[in-house]
Amino acid sequence: MQALTDRVKPVDRRPLTFMEKLYLPAIWKGMAITFKHIFQKKATVSYPEEKRPFSPVFRGLHILNRDEEGRERCTACGLCAVACPAEAITMEAAERKPGEEHLYREEKYAASYEINMLRCIFCGFCEEACPKDAIYLTETFAPANYQRKGFIYGKEDLLIPDPKEKQTV
């Protein structure tokens, strides 16, 4: 039979030699290997105290962005919800009232904005779909929770703190 690749390794079907039948030399070799591993660098880290850095393209929990003046960027256009393959995003739009200009950047805003982190597959399509640079994926992941409703993140969980307020603090 002709081999399909040049990496074919024929199976060695020769009967065991006397030394191999003794088992002990092979066992000793194996034990030497495992003994060597006792002194090697550990592959694992002590997690909560020591964390491995994520890759720069890691896609974790979402945030809702504000502009430089601290106004919410989201205009509740719904493009993120449309782009979402897992249908994890829901929102309700509302109209900006006079006097709320310092809160919302444009005249329409999201009165409620929810992402179900149990549905979300962290593909980042919402980030790509957003025309207003309002939603971003961060380098953290959703912490454990006791109840399903704890995984439904509302606006208060997603919005980043106001940069102006933060400065005063």
Partner 1 sequence: MTIDWYFILEKLILISGVLALSLIVAMYSTWGERKVAAVIQDRRGPNRAGPLGLLQPLADGGKLFFKEEIIPASSHRFLFILGPSLAMLVACMTSAVIPWGDTLVIAGQEISLQVADINIGILYIFGVVSLGVYGIMLGGWASNNKYSLLASVRAASQIISYELAMGLSLIALLMLTGSLSLKDIVEQQRHGLWNVVYQPLGFLIFLVCAFAECNRTPFDLPEAENELNGGYHLEYSSMKLGFYLFAEYINMFVSSALMASLYFGGYSFPGMDSLGLPHNVVTILGFLALFLKILVFLFLFMWVRWTIPRFRYDQLMRLGWNVMIPLALLNMLITGAIVLFRQG
Which residues are annotated binding-site positions for [4Fe-4S] cluster?
A: 74, 77, 80, 84, 120, 123, 126, 130
Nearer to partner 1, 45 or 111 (CB): 45
Considering the complex, what minimum distance in angstroms separates the CB of residue 38 from partner 1? 5
Between CA 126 and CA 76 the distance in angstroms is 12
Binding positions are 74, 77, 80, 84, 120, 123, 126, 130
Considering the complex, what minimum distance in angstroms separates the CB of residue 45 from partner 1? 8
What does the block give as tokens for 82? Answer: 């449309």
Examine residue 167 and tell whether it contacts partner 1 (CB under 8 A). Answer: no
Nearer to partner 1, 28 or 141 (CB): 28
In the stretch 23-62, what mask flags binding to partner 1 with x, by CB under 8 A? ----x--xx-xxx-xx-xxxxx-x----------------
Say whether 116 sits in a helix, a strand or coil: strand
Between CA 72 and CA 37 the distance in angstroms is 54
Dihedral of the CA atoms 121, 126, 128, 133 (nearest 10)? Answer: -140
Report DSSP letters for 40-95, one per residue. SPPSS--TTTS-PPPPTT---SEEE-B-TTS-B------HHHHH-TT--EEEEEEE
Contact residues toward partner 1 (CB under 8 A) are 27, 30-31, 33-35, 37-38, 40-44, 46
